Amino acid sequence: MLNYIIKRLIQLIPVLIGVSIVVFLMIYLIPGDAAEIIGGPAATADEVANIRIKLGLDRPMHEQYLRYMSGVLKGDLGFSFQTGQPVSEAIKTRYVNTFKLAVFSAVVAAIIGVCAGIIAAVKQNSWFDYLCMSVATLGISAPTFWIGLMLIIVFCVKFKIFTISGFTGQIWTKEGLKGMVLPAVTLGFNSAAMIARMTRSSVLEIIHQDYIHTARAKGLSEKIVVLKHALKNSLIPIVTVIGVNFGSLLGGTVVVESVFAINGIGRLMVQAINARDFPMVQGAVLIVATTFVLVNLITDIIYAAIDPRISYK
Amino acid sequence: QNNQPTNQPVEQKLTYVSMTDAVGVSPILTNDSASSNVLRGVYETLFMKDPVTGEIKPLLAESYTNPDPNTWVITLKKDIKFQDGTPFTSEAVKYTFEKILDPATASPRASLIKSVDKIEAPDDYTVILHTSETYGIMLTALAHDNLSIVNPAADKAGDINRDATNAGTGPFIFKEWVPGDHITLVKNPNYWQGEPKLDTVIYKVVPEMATAVTMIENGEADFMVSVPPEHLDRLKNNPDVTVTMLEGNPTRYVGFNFEKAPFDNLKVRQAVSYALNRDAYIGTLNGLGYKSKGIIGPRLIGYDKEIENHGYDYDVAKAKQLLAEAGYPDGFKAVLSVGNTDMYMKMAPYVQAQLKEINIDVELNVLDWASYLAHCKAGEQQMYINGWSNVTGDGEELLYPQFYSKSIGASNYSRYNKPEMDELIIKTRVTVDQTERVKYLREANIKFTDDVAWVPMFNDNVTLAARKNVKGIAFESNNEFRLNNAYKE
Amino acid sequence: MGVLLEVNDLKTYFYTMEGIVPAVDGVSFSINKGETLGIVGESGSGKSVAARSIMRLIPSPPGKIINGSIIFNGEDILSKKDKDMREIRGNKIAMIFQDPMTSLNPLFTIGDQIIEAIMIHQKLSKKEAIENAVEMLKLVGIPSPEKRIKDYPHQMSGGMRQRVMIAMALSCRPDLLIADEPTTALDVTIQAQILELISDIKDKFNMSVMIITHDLGVVAGVADKIIVMYAGKLMEYGDVSSIFSSPLHPYTKGLMESVPKIKTEGKRLKSIAGSLPNLTENFKGCRFAERCSMANNMCFLSEPDLTEVDGRQVRCFLYPNGEV
Amino acid sequence: MAEISKDTQAEKKVKNRSSKKPGLGLWKRLKKNKLAMAGLFIVSIIFIVALFAPLISPYDPDKQDVTIRLLKIGSPGHILGTDEYGRDLLSRVIYGARISLLVGFCSVAFGLIFGVILGLVSGYYSKLDSIIMRIVDILLAFPGVLLALAIVSALGPGIINVIIAIGIWSVPTVARVVRSTVLYIKELDYVTAARALGDTDFNIIFREILPNCISPIIVYATMRLATAILSAATLSFLGLGAQPPMAEWGAMASTGRNFIYQAPHLTLIPGAAIIIVVFGFNSLGDGLRDALDPNLKNNL
Amino acid sequence: MEYLLQVKDLKKYFPIKKGLFSKTVNYVKAVDGISFNIVNGETLGLVGESGCGKSTAGRTILRLYEPTSGEVIIDEIKFTDLDKESLRKKRKDMQIIFQDPYASLNPRLSAGEIIGRAIDIHNIASGKERQEKILSLLDTVGLSSSHYNRYPNEFSGGQRQRIGIARALAVNPKLIICDEAVSALDVSIQAQIINLLEDIQEKYKITYIFIAHNMAVVKHISNNIAVMYLGKIVEMADKDELFDNPMHPYTRALLSAIPVPDPSIKHKRVRLQGDVPSPIDIPEGCRFCKRCPEKTDVCEKIEPELIDLGGGHMVACHNRR
Ligand SMILES: Nc1ncnc2c1ncn2[C@@H]1O[C@H](COP(=O)(O)OP(=O)(O)OP(=O)(O)O)[C@@H](O)[C@H]1O
Ligand SMILES: Nc1ncnc2c1ncn2[C@@H]1O[C@H](COP(=O)(O)OP(=O)(O)OP(=O)(O)O)[C@@H](O)[C@H]1O
Ligand SMILES: [Mg+2]
Ligand SMILES: [Mg+2]
């Protein structure tokens, strides 16, 4: 198992190198550069040229990339072009915020989604099933920004239950939790819907398997049949959606982060690319990509924990 | 939550919301307005512009003399200390300016004192600036936030662009910056103009305007500037919020590339100017814009009422006629480049729709901001929408960057290049006699307006929305505010 | 030998999009204590549905038992509450399925799966249940059961899994074991082992067995009585030796003749042409008439009743008065 | 062969019962699914609206009249009110359907063309598989918003580039879906039979395998259409999508959000339009999946 | 006698790959050296437990799997030496019919198209002729022209199997491998298909390799029978000889395991212990010795060879010399 994990981590390297090359090319192929942004509209050509030299943007492309990557190998993600802040530091605070938000909403979404999905599957074709699935379909059909705006109108403007910018990144205090609720709901709405649908269909599929008939024939109560035998078997696709969703939560929180004024990695990425802040974009993308790959790895490990037939040697 | 009356003293903590974060907190290395708003609390300049009269008056300086047009002898105030207690002396001024001028620093605003070639500090309270050419706008430049004086000790100790603790002489001391989230300043109890009333100032980043506005309404934040028209009424109608509105100096305009046909043709530019109904557009701004026909707007040095007799009013027939005269009776196709910020994205479809009336078929070319800058600097645009926000409040700081031929490839997006105009611009810059200089500015204003260097769409009215209990914020027509005397009731 | 199970006029229908499928359409039979009943018939003839009806494990929707009674040990199963029914399942009536590969839950150890039933029905502690399970595994011939009990299904071969299934079914000493094609998925050599095992255990526990198969060879070896089903209907019902020696119904005959025999040499095989009719249509005549070589007009018009012939029951117009 | 002819007689019944094409059974099953039919209904309506937008819409969607800005819902002459330039919201919503469908279809088509080819090649030729899948991994690990942002920054915002961005975005997932189906199908006996008959790889891929990947592809495409429309709206919301004066719903909701207090309908209506269309495609996709799924088929 | 097919020491090993660089760590020796010949127009039955390599043998003969070593000669041509293009052309000589009537037909093609595609691949006929050929093939396998446009899902299992047979016949093969072609069918349908296969053999003089695990079926249709165990042939003989005089203990066990549809016969079974060992770690000595009721010391050490004991009855067992 340990070997397997190490192997997977080694496989991460080519992916990250690939990603970094893509980012690098991307930044350099799109028009505009960091120096112009830093200089701003009033800067003179000299001023811009000086900035360019200072940032090393006057060097040939491959040299810039190699210089950057050799830094990365030494564990140095460089300094932001725009603010001069160490990239690792800038990313850390933002990443932690996004990560907490993503985890919180993923957990809530998973709990709600799985429960709703199971009930819907067990009561297939009942009114609950229809309601649940209609809501879930609506849930995956609604744009995140729209959900966010609607929640703000209802809970912050009309009823003043929550504050919009209450997100502090703390989960353990009451206030912190309160600030987490709306963004987490906005973010988790889609995932919950998706998880509910996946749970339902995978439980429905499993429930027609022979071993479920066997379990019933043993005289087990329906509760045990569903919660023990069917659910555990349905877990693999469910874990997969949760994993995939979590991965995209990390990359796709830009909207929620701007609507709820959260200082997260998504917004950082958007700002950084708008400012052509290459080290920052690179750092942010690498961390998001790494997380994505790690989440995949964790999903795979969970598979092995669930299913004894899967063993990684 | 702040509504219940209490006997306890109000917490003197003021929260400002803005959509963007500061880029840095060193005056030497920044030049954006979000950073300036912080700088103004932490640092001070030698001179400052009077918020009401617009007149330049000494701040850290005591007085100045011009023994000759190329020499500025500035006497400094005594007994001013940096926030860490080190005295403020001429060495600090010399240190700051030399650092800005050092190309290795790559200061984005080095051009402000580029003409200074030597700085002397003969004694602790005298600074002598020698310029290579006469520089009539020296004082306005020295009032620029980016020429604030930094504490050499602090600068040598660390990167004051990230951590500006004790780096200035200002009323507030830099405490903390969580990038992307907020910056905290605390009061400087030893401030030379007297202890500020506020204990803490927080600059909070809220990228979504609707959210920011709601925060003001809910009392989560105390004030903001530049309220967009859509949200203005809400804040105005809120009994807990006071909205202050001033005529501002930023101008929004439709620009042309003078190197590209057909906009090199004056008649075409005039036609465009006639075709745009500015009054109607300003009507949609909910009071946040006002009209002036000139290029140098009413809140800038160099403006004079006579300009309103120049320029062009809305007149479609005339526009069509001019177009026909220019050889385009059936109109033509054009591309209008726009950077994707809210304000310009709102203007663009309007301009497009209006020009359609005179058969100019405008295609919008929307670009993200960095691409837009590159695109315009390279002169790839045909028409463009932009604005100019003046920091010093002097018309020169508009003409030189925007229309001086040497600024082509940088801030002169219109690629305006006429030797006689260049000459005039230089005069507005080098003339040390201020009344004469203003005369040149007025002349330039008329000439550029007649030449339709831009089509000014409107001038901003700047707004400050604050909670009712917030008092004493000094607010200026360039959207700047000072919190020296601010407090909460 | 008393009657253990009595099924009367059982009708189980499926309400599908294509129409109503009368998967089991009025089937009656009984099983005595210690007796083995074989059910044979082509795929889709309703054998499994009949068996599942007894367990009341018909997926609903779309399936529904719409008529009949199932008397087990004197009590009608169909009128029992769900909770009481669970007491019977696995405890009094146990069932094993065709495919040992898919009938065991892959995510739990076989031990877990065996003790589950024991703990519920016999109210034993986990430890006792495990002891019990080990004993059962030993009984079905699994070597070193103490170790194997911790194995997952995928670690065992098909034959072993089927043994586990049997051990599981027997763990509560049921009165009736329903084996739905218990050897179809297995190799011939393993199949022989399993069939022998079932007979041995039946004798040991004095159990009744209901064995479902389409392989006539299998029933011949183990069953006492046989039901031949076709398209949801019982076609012939009687004791094994008489049916094999002189099949009455043309379908039964057809089946027997289709099987290639080792002794009979090289002749062309007899076969039954065609395939099962579509049950959703409103059938008029005999369901087998389409494929019957002896069919006449009457067969297409009305359905024959079950008649008693020679101590057996046959559904065919060939025996109008119960005579051969 | 007397038996054989009899056999066919018996089969005549089967003939009468069965439909001709495998697709028709699908329609029958789909018809039973209420949600899917609702989806189909919505999608058809939107199609009609998009197709006949110039006939249906009461005004030119780009016609500005600032004297009637921000009319409320139910104003005379403007049932859904007007926006900040005084453009008729109903007309804009109607024209918006065109754009949403255009973005949806084009970007999905883009994603499908490349994704399907990659998936087929990678699934069929095991030698190329690992290389292609590594590239797919890289694309997958790359944050989608950033990709869109980069494309839009490079090419400029605008509907075509949004289509490209979303298209590229779907390539890796399509490739994966197709690949896994191919991996399964290529082991099926009918493909082996084609190989045994001496068929060429090209024929095997495109005539034996591809047609049998169609159902997961169709299902995926319908779902993806929904996602594409949503993504386009989100990109517009971030200012990267459709550009003015184009009546794209996401862009409308995005600019409308500034008026959320004065004129919430500017956000509500385009937002609702997005939800309805996406809902339509999602329900239809769901229904198709269920109808095509052999497991559920047997159990209904 | 003229052999249509000669198989010489055919082996097929599937590599087991592991690790970062997919190194081959071991092999599944699915077919481990089998040799036999079939006379034109005859049928060889291939029996054995599940997993013993019957299907692999069949597919390797057809080069659907590339053989690891060995030779396949069909009609004097060395099939194993052909390059890719000639192989493709030559494939029409040998066809295969599969066990699963559901997976073996492309669900998107109608019965006519399925057969038509086979004809097209080798340009056997075109236009009207092609149409006629398809109809006649349908007729041969007992389907009618009304089935031409129907899709596989509208056919029953037996009918699908007929389409599969028609597809194989379309290219006029000399040899057809029936890989458990009747195992999935009900007895009644099974008999129909067996009869059909026999009719066809008679009509077209086709040679069959008939793979099955049902001994009775194999006996019915074959001329010779080969019994496989763990990748090797352990006994091969004329079918009557094999049934009357089984030599190998495994063959005996197999025969005794056949359920006899006659309740009056209660015969004695040869009980085998345990299951088939894995083809990855093949035991030393005789492959069967772990389960063999008659094993001796030598069995555990030396692998017996397949030896002709006279009359073409070949056995691989130390105790039968
Ligand atoms: N869940 C179900 N939904 C709809 N129809 C069903 C269902 N289960 C069984 N049937 C139908 O009931 C009929 C009888 O099925 P059953 O499974 O009892 O056949 P069987 O005799 O056991 O066949 P086999 O030998 O293939 O197991 C078939 O026509 C089948 O289609
Ligand atoms: N593609 C493959 N890769 C690896 N191993 C394989 C492959 N195909 C078959 N095998 C292995 O080769 C051995 C022989 O398999 P084969 O399918 O030939 O057996 P069989 O006799 O046909 O069995 P059955 O009666 O179950 O069809 C088995 O152990 C199987 O797991
Ligand atoms: Mg069955
Ligand atoms: Mg096989």
DSSP per-residue codes, B251-311: EEEEEE-TTSTTTTSHHHHHHHHHH--HHHHHHTTTTSEE---SSS-TTSBT--GGGGGSS
| Cβ proximity of C238 and C226 under 8 Å | yes
Whether the CB of A142 is below 8 Å from some CB of chain D: the reply is yes
Average pLDDT on C72-95 reads 86
Rounded to 5 degrees, φ, ψ at A269 are -65, -45
Q: Are strands B126-131 and B172-178 parallel, antiparallel or unpaired?
A: unpaired
Q: Is the pLDDT at D22 greater than 70, yes or no?
A: no
| Cβ proximity of E176 and E98 under 8 Å | no
Per-residue pLDDT tens digits for B104-139: 888 888 888 888 989 999 999 999 999 998 888 888
Q: Which residue has the higher pLDDT, B357 or E214?
A: B357
Local confidence band at C264 (pLDDT 50, 70, 90 cut-offs): low
| Cβ proximity of B236 and B31 under 8 Å | no
- Burial class of B61 by CB neighbour count within 10 A (0 to 12, 13 to 18, 19+): buried
Local confidence band at D297 (pLDDT 50, 70, 90 cut-offs): very low
| Strand, helix or coil for residue A182 | helix
CATH value at residue C245:
3.40.50.300
Question: Atom 11 in ligand 1: which residue has the minimum CA distance?
Answer: C23
Per-residue pLDDT tens digits for E103-118: 889 888 889 999 999 9
Three-state secondary structure string covering D31-45: HHCHHHHHHHHHHHH
Whether residues D10 and C291 touch (CB distance < 8 A) is answered with yes
In this structure, of B257-271, C293-307, D73-87, E171-185, the range with the lowest mean pLDDT score is D73-87
- CB atoms closer than 10 angstroms to residue B401: 21
pLDDT at D237: 78
Local confidence band at D18 (pLDDT 50, 70, 90 cut-offs): very low
Q: CA D12 from chain center: how many Å? A: 40
Residues of chain B with pLDDT under 70: 1-8
Q: Residue D20: inside a domain, yes or no?
A: no
Say which residues have a Cβ less than 8 Å from residue C297's Cβ, sequence separation at least 6: none
Per-residue pLDDT tens digits for A281-292: 888 888 888 888
Q: Residue A196: inside a domain, yes or no?
A: yes
Q: Indicate the residue type of A47.
A: E
Q: Residue C183: inside a domain, yes or no?
A: no
pLDDT at D9: 35
Q: Is the pLDDT at D21 greater than 60, yes or no?
A: no
**DSSP structure class, residue B171:** S
What is the best residue among C13, C15, C49 to mutate for testing ligand 1's pocket, by most ligand atoms within 8 Å of CB?
C49
pLDDT at B7: 60
Per-residue pLDDT tens digits for A209-259: 888 888 888 888 888 888 888 888 888 888 888 888 887 777 657 888 877
| Strand, helix or coil for residue B52 | coil
Q: Residue C79: inside a domain, yes or no?
A: yes
Cis peptide before B228 (omega within 30 of 0): no
Q: Is the pLDDT at A153 greater than 50, yes or no?
A: yes
Q: Give the C-alpha separation, D53 to D100, whole Å.
A: 13
Question: Atom 18 in ligand 1: which residue has the minimum CA distance?
Answer: C46
Least Cα separation, residue D44 to chain E (angstroms)? 27
Whether the CB of C18 is below 8 Å from some CB of chain E: the reply is no
Say which residues have a Cβ less than 8 Å from residue B33's Cβ, sequence separation at least 6: B389, B479, B480
Q: Residue C212: inside a domain, yes or no?
A: yes
C-alpha closest to that of A136 among A186, A187, A190, A185: A190
Q: Residue A111: inside a domain, yes or no?
A: yes
C173 within ligand 1 shell (Cβ under 6 A): no
Q: Residue A147: inside a domain, yes or no?
A: yes
Q: Residue D184: inside a domain, yes or no?
A: yes
Local confidence band at D126 (pLDDT 50, 70, 90 cut-offs): confident
- CB atoms closer than 10 angstroms to residue E1: 6
Local confidence band at D103 (pLDDT 50, 70, 90 cut-offs): confident
Per-residue pLDDT tens digits for D136-161: 888 887 777 777 778 877 777 778 88
pLDDT at D16: 35
Q: Residue C157: inside a domain, yes or no?
A: no
Per-residue pLDDT tens digits for E117-145: 999 998 888 888 899 999 999 988 888 88
For chain B, give the number of residues.
Answer: 489
- Best residue in A12, A19, A33, A145 to probe D by mutation, most D CBs within 10 Å? A145
Q: Is the pLDDT at D1 greater than 60, yes or no?
A: no
Residue ranges of B 94-123 with Cβ closer than 8 A to chain A: 103-111
Three-state secondary structure string covering chain E: CCEEEEEEEEEEEEEEEECCCCEEEEEEEEEEEEEEEEECCCEEEEECCCCCCHHHHHHHHCCCCCCCEEEEEECCEEHHHCCHHHHHHHHHHEEEECCCCCCCCCCCCCHHHHHHHHHHHCCCCCHHHHHHHHHHHHHHCCCCHHHCCCCHHHCCHHHHHHHHHHHHHCCCCCEEEEECCCCCCCHHHHHHHHHHHHHHHHHHCCEEEEECCCHHHHHHHCCEEEEEECCEEEEEEEHHHHHHCCCCHHHHHHHHHCCCCCCCCCCCCCCCCCCCCCCCCCCCCCCCCCCCCCCCHHHHHCCCCCEECCCCCEECCCCCC
Least Cα separation, residue C81 to chain D (angstroms)? 25
| Cβ proximity of C122 and C130 under 8 Å | no
Residue ranges of A 198-217 with Cβ closer than 8 A to chain C: 208-211, 213-217
Q: Which residue has the tokens 């291939």?
A: E46
Per-residue pLDDT tens digits for E259-317: 777 777 666 666 777 666 777 878 788 888 888 888 888 888 888 888 888 888 999 98
> Which bound ligand lies closest to the C-alpha atom of C40?
1
Average pLDDT on C140-149 reads 84
Domain of A291, in residue numbers: 88-306
Q: Residue D247: inside a domain, yes or no?
A: yes
Q: What is the ipTM of this complex?
A: 0.77
pLDDT at D214: 81
- Burial class of D22 by CB neighbour count within 10 A (0 to 12, 13 to 18, 19+): middle
Predicted TM-score (pTM) of this structure = 0.80
Q: Report in angstroms the alpha-carbon separations of C297 from C294, D96, E317.
A: 10, 68, 60
- What is the C-alpha end-to-end distance of chain C, expressed in Å? 29
Share of chain C above pLDDT 90, in %: 5
User: Is residue A54 located within the same domain as residue A189?
Assistant: no
> Which bound ligand lies closest to the C-alpha atom of E51?
2
* Total count of domains within chain D: 1
Local confidence band at D298 (pLDDT 50, 70, 90 cut-offs): very low
CATH value at residue A262:
1.10.3720.10
Contacts of B371 in chain D (CB under 8 A): 153, 156
Per-residue pLDDT tens digits for A86-99: 888 888 888 888 88
Rounded to 5 degrees, φ, ψ at E314 are -105, 135
Share of chain D above pLDDT 90, in %: 7
Q: Residue D19: inside a domain, yes or no?
A: no
Q: Give the C-alpha separation, E28 to E13, whole Å.
A: 5
Per-residue pLDDT tens digits for A23-42: 888 877 787 788 877 777 77
Q: Residue A138: inside a domain, yes or no?
A: yes
Least Cα separation, residue D262 to chain B (angstroms)? 8
Q: Which residue has the higher pLDDT, D290 or B430?
A: B430
| Strand, helix or coil for residue B247 | strand
Least Cα separation, residue E108 to chain D (angstroms)? 7
User: Is residue A66 located within the same domain as residue A113?
Assistant: no
pLDDT at E1: 60
Local confidence band at D8 (pLDDT 50, 70, 90 cut-offs): very low
The CA B307 to ligand 1 mean position distance, Å, reads 94
Neighbours of chain B (3+ CB pairs under 8 A): A, D
Contacts of B374 in chain A (CB under 8 A): 31-33, 36
Whether residues A255 and D234 touch (CB distance < 8 A) is answered with yes
pLDDT at E20: 58
What is the best residue among E28, E31, E97, E276 to mutate for testing ligand 2's pocket, by most ligand atoms within 8 Å of CB?
E28
Domain boundaries defined on chain E: 3-315
Q: Give the C-alpha separation, C58 to C45, whole Å.
A: 16
pLDDT at B187: 93
pLDDT at B319: 92
* Total count of domains within chain A: 2
Q: Is the pLDDT at D243 greater than 80, yes or no?
A: no
Pocket of ligand 2 (CB under 6 A): E 14, 28, 30, 48, 50-56, 213, 279
Size of interface A-E (CB pairs under 8 A): 3
Q: Is the pLDDT at D294 greater than 60, yes or no?
A: no
User: Is residue A255 located within the same domain as residue A282?
Assistant: yes
CATH architecture for the domain at E3-315: 3-Layer(aba) Sandwich (3.40)
pLDDT at D15: 34
pLDDT at B58: 93
DSSP per-residue codes, A67-132: HHHHHHHTT---B-TTT--BHHHHHHHHHHHHHHHHHHHHHHHHHHHHHHHHHHHHTTTSHHHHHH
pLDDT at B396: 87
Chains A and B share 3 or more Cβ pairs within 8 Å:
yes
Structure tokens at D197: 């008959």
Domain of C261, in residue numbers: 3-84+207-314
Q: Residue A4: inside a domain, yes or no?
A: no
What is the best residue among C45, C230, C279 to mutate for testing ligand 1's pocket, by most ligand atoms within 8 Å of CB?
C45
**How many helices (DSSP H) and strands (DSSP E) are in chain C?**
12, 12
User: Is residue A192 located within the same domain as residue A103?
Assistant: yes
The CA C231 to ligand 3 mean position distance, Å, reads 12
Least Cα separation, residue A52 to chain D (angstroms)? 20
pLDDT at C89: 86
Q: Is the pLDDT at A49 greater than 60, yes or no?
A: yes
Across the strands, what pairs with B337? B365, B384
| Cβ proximity of B93 and A23 under 8 Å | no
Q: Which residue has the higher pLDDT, B338 or D294?
A: B338
Local confidence band at D300 (pLDDT 50, 70, 90 cut-offs): very low
CATH value at residue D92:
1.10.3720.10
Say which residues have a Cβ less than 8 Å from residue E274's Cβ, sequence separation at least 6: E290, E291
Cis peptide before B103 (omega within 30 of 0): no
Domain of D247, in residue numbers: 26-299
Q: Give the C-alpha separation, B336 to C66, whole Å.
A: 76
pLDDT at B192: 92
* Total count of domains within chain C: 1
Q: Around ion ligand 3, which residues have CB less than 5 A away?
A: C 48
Contacts of E84 in chain D (CB under 8 A): none
Q: Give the C-alpha separation, A50 to A57, whole Å.
A: 10
Q: Give the C-alpha separation, D119 to C100, whole Å.
A: 35
Rounded to 5 degrees, φ, ψ at A215 are -60, -40
Whether residues C62 and D300 touch (CB distance < 8 A) is answered with yes
